[in-house]
């Protein structure tokens, strides 16, 4: 019964925020692709436009989509590939926009974030950064492209706004993360924005799943700190890649 109530609250939250999804959240969401030296394109993750620049935009995604940790030296090593974003328009050929990784975090420290910069005259809406969710069962929505099957809209709720222990997945350690219950989210959704429907702002970012039942997200406050430190040159593990 409780699960049914939470589901109905999620659906109601989406109904109230549907205009925002259509005007902002959906068109602000992009698929992140990489091209190797042979020219092969592969979809990696999902990103979201969060800042307008004079000549383009900045998008946030997950660090594990575009970089690896050098744990020994505590450095971030960006993959030597060419990165692109696309709106994945359903009609006509895809338009790929070249993206540059300007910041990326150490995954084993829990900073599973990357910021991509795209120079373009194409217009994107921007999803504002909000506050961390604090309530169990708080309704959320998400736009992502799981398994590279195109952008989809998902609804769910926060099952735990702050997990009190580290979550270890391979070499990644997510600390002070939150759990979501949201059906349909899968591989390729990493880096996508979690939008709290009460705020209609970003309150976290999806980074992974546990046994395909618990979705792991990092609260937006952690990204804000990472981003401000990076802009101020205080995030020492990242060095801007040379040559690509």
Total number of domains in the chain: 2
Question: How many helices and strands, by DSSP H and E, does the chain display?
Answer: 2, 16
Residue 116 and residue 132 in one domain:
no
Residue 148 and residue 195 in one domain:
yes
Residue 118 and residue 177 in one domain:
no
Residue 112 and residue 47 in one domain:
yes
Residue 145 lies in a domain: yes
Question: Could you tell me the end-to-end alpha-carbon distance of the chain, in angstroms, rounded to an integer?
Answer: 54
pLDDT in tens, 116-162: 999 999 999 999 999 999 899 999 999 999 887 889 999 999 999 98
Residue 208 and residue 147 in one domain:
yes
Residue 5 lies in a domain: no
Residue 33 and residue 120 in one domain:
yes
Q: Which two tokens stand for residue 191?
A: 């880096």
Residue 13 lies in a domain: no
Residue 152 lies in a domain: yes
State which residues form the domain around 64. Answer: 29-125+224-231
Average of per-residue pLDDT across 186-214: 90
- Residue 8 confidence (pLDDT): 47
Residue 105 and residue 132 in one domain:
no
- Residue 11 confidence (pLDDT): 52
SS3 content of the chain, % helix, strand, coil (to 5): 15, 40, 40
Q: Are 217 and 210 in contact (CB under 8 A)?
A: no
**Entry pTM:** 0.89
What is the C-alpha separation between 138 and 131, in angstroms, rounded? 13
Residue 34 and residue 121 in one domain:
yes
Residue 10 lies in a domain: no
Residue 236 lies in a domain: no
pLDDT in tens, 58-68: 999 999 999 99
Residue 63 and residue 141 in one domain:
no
Residue 173 and residue 194 in one domain:
yes
- Residue 210 confidence (pLDDT): 80
Residue 241 lies in a domain: no
CATH code: domain of residue 165 = 2.40.10.10
Residue 149 lies in a domain: yes
Residue 145 and residue 201 in one domain:
yes
The CA-based angle 123-126-127, given to 5 degrees, is 155
Percent residues over pLDDT 90 in the chain = 66
User: Is residue 166 very low, low, confident or very high in pLDDT (cuts 50, 70, 90)?
Assistant: confident
What is the C-alpha separation between 26 and 145, in angstroms, rounded? 11
26: left (phi over 0), alpha (psi -120 to 50) or beta: alpha
Residue 135 and residue 99 in one domain:
no
- Residue 9 confidence (pLDDT): 47
What is the C-alpha separation between 60 and 76, in angstroms, rounded? 16
């Amino acid at each position: 019964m409780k699960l049914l109530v939470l589901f109905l609250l999620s659906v109601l939250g989406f109904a109230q925020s549907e205009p925002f999804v259509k005007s902002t959240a959906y068109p602000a969401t992009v698929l992140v692709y990489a091209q190797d030296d042979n020219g092969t394109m592969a979809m990696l993750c999902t990103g979201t436009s969060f800042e307008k620049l004079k000549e383009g935009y900045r998008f946030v995604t997950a660090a594990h989509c575009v970089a690896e940790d050098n744990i020994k030296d505590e450095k971030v090593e960006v993959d030597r590939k060419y990165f692109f974003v696309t709106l994945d328009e359903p009609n006509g050929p895809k338009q790929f926009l070249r993206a540059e990784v300007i910041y990326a975090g150490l995954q084993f420290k829990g900073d599973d974030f990357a910021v991509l910069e795209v120079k373009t005259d194409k217009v994107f809406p921007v999803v504002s950064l909000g506050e961390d969710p604090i309530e169990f069962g708080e309704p959320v929505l998400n736009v992502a492209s799981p398994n590279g099957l195109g952008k989809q809209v998902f609804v769910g709720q926060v099952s735990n706004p702050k997990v009190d222990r580290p979550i270890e997945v391979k070499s990644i350690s997510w600390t002070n993360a939150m759990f979501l219950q949201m059906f349909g989210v899968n591989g390729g959704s990493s880096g996508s924005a979690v939008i709290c429907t009460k705020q209609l702002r970003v309150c976290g970012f999806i980074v992974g799943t546990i046994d395909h039942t618990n979705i792991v997200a990092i609260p937006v406050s952690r990204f804000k700190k990472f981003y401000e430190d990076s802009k101020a040159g205080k995030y020492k593990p990242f060095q801007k890649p040379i040559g690509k």
